[in-house]
A and B are shown apart, each in its own frame.
Chain A
């Protein structure tokens, strides 16, 4: 069934888009990542203009993160104070990202930068995740056979920052500057890459900030909810490339997929899920790396003035 997308200006098969949303939603429910890192590249492969793909995927992530936030709120798994600080940073980051986006668009380097960032981020995170889950599944053994050092809870660099606040739910007494900066980076990535940034924020909250694990996913989802909503507004008013029809189709699939994914997650082994996600991430990274190094089919690109 073909449907015309009014902003993208072309017609797509509605079922394909709903299905794509469904698969991404399944991943979201199962593993807790927003899935923007999958949606955006796949939409671009499908022929949607990159700007529209980035903007509309952002809108979709807002919808998928709602149910996650609600679920975690019931379990008291959200640190609102920490969330507010990170969101504040995220809003600044989104604003800065918007400026960078337009600058790169003007010089024609936006596609290369987006691809490079994807390769670097997804590649490194995929490798880390694959290693970690393989160790947990006993596929590979940690080097030397001895138990890995327990990670230090408090990063000395962050502990040295001035002006400390107490974050009760996270069990932290640190300077708000650190989460503010983290939020800034996350917000920038949201605008540039059309991702929620959960796949960066979650590890950073655990290993860099040292937040307690129960509140990490819920707080990250809260941040994603607000920052993607703000990003949608930024895209709507500056690049005008939010396609409501495209976002709606994606949402239709993903909100339902997310619910099924959440049920499926309770039955499956989390290590297996993480291994699976690592393979998917590495696949996407590899595809994009090949795209950068291979002679592209189209040497020329056109941009309207």
Chain B
């Protein structure tokens, strides 16, 4: 997972610039392992933690918290429909090498008021600042168009979320945020990053890993479909033959 080492790097960088008297974050998540079972309809993740200030006292002016939950990155193609001879069909397309499969950001205040564009781009804060690594060969204008198309589409599916008031801070030291993980997220290793921000600077950062996996019957089916594709197909055909034949004989007897 690329997210983890990068976040660690950020942590180290934050530590270097701040010297000894730096605040520290102690983050946690309600579930570090999310299991997809047959009745999985998504899950509400609670991200919470404490801000430890040196001396144990919160400063008079409150700092802000941003939490980011990111799914595994994936390469993808975005296609754009245009009207051709009265029919809407895919005409142009663009590739992105590293689009997160899930991205949710929550902050205690709207992001533009917390960080400038540069910091937002470095820490990938906000839907406008995702590092999607567009493929070669298209102008920046076209890339931006496809980027916003992708972000809009994923947002509509509930896979990209930005909640500008999603983090609550109590007493200046405790924070918590709810982030909803919808049912259609892919499995894999996710990261939950927390940033402490003041005056446009990231004072501290911390990461927790979350693993989302299929379990039990669901895991078995997904694995079987991939590993034993032919046997899986035979079973599917057998199941349908059995059900069809079963219903026919059952109803004939009556």
Contact = CB atoms under 8 A, between A and B. Distances in A.
B230 interface: yes
A6 B81 CA distance: 30
A65 B243 CA distance: 11
Contacts of A171: none
B93 interface: yes
B184 A9 contact: yes
A111 B87 CA distance: 12
B245 A67 contact: yes
A44 interface: no
B78 A240 contact: no
A245 B36 CA distance: 15
Interface in B205-249: 214, 217-219, 221-222, 225-226, 229-230, 232-237, 239-241, 243-248
B135 to A, nearest CB: 10
B79 interface: yes
Contacts of A242: 225, 232-233, 236
Contacts, number: 174
A244 B79 contact: no
B75 A2 contact: no
Nearest to A12: B183
A220 interface: no
Contacts of B233: 232-233, 235-237, 242
A293 B87 contact: yes
B149 A299 contact: yes
B39 A300 contact: no
Contact of A237 (B40, B86, B150, B230): B230
B76 interface: yes
A93 B89 CA distance: 26
A302 B154 contact: yes
B79 A60 contact: no
Interface residues of A, number: 55
User: Interface SS of chain B: helix, strand, loop or mixed?
Assistant: helix
B70 interface: no
A237 B229 CA distance: 5
Interface residues of B, number: 59
Interface in A198-254: 229, 232-233, 235-237, 240, 242, 244-245, 247-248, 251-252
Contact of B75 (A245, A255, A304): A304
Nearest to B97: A305
Contact of A67 (B40, B78, B154, B244): B244
Nearest to B230: A237
B248 A67 contact: yes
Contacts of B79: 108, 300-303
Nearest to B241: A66
A15 interface: no
A109 B230 contact: no
A296 B88 contact: yes
A108 to B, nearest CB: 4
A39 interface: no
Contact of A4 (B37, B225, B241, B243): B37
A141 B63 CA distance: 82
A296 B146 CA distance: 16
A196 to B, nearest CB: 12
B152 interface: yes
9 contacts: A2-B41, A6-B214, A6-B217, A6-B219, A229-B237, A242-B225, A259-B251, A295-B88, A300-B153
Interface of A: 1-4, 6-7, 9-11, 59-60, 62-67, 70-71, 108-109, 111-112, 116, 229, 232-233, 235-237, 240, 242, 244-245, 247-248, 251-252, 255-256, 258-259, 292-296, 298-305
- The 9 lowest CB-CB distance pairs between A and B, nearest first, are A236-B233, A66-B244, A63-B240, A67-B248, A255-B247, A300-B149, A63-B244, A10-B184, A259-B251
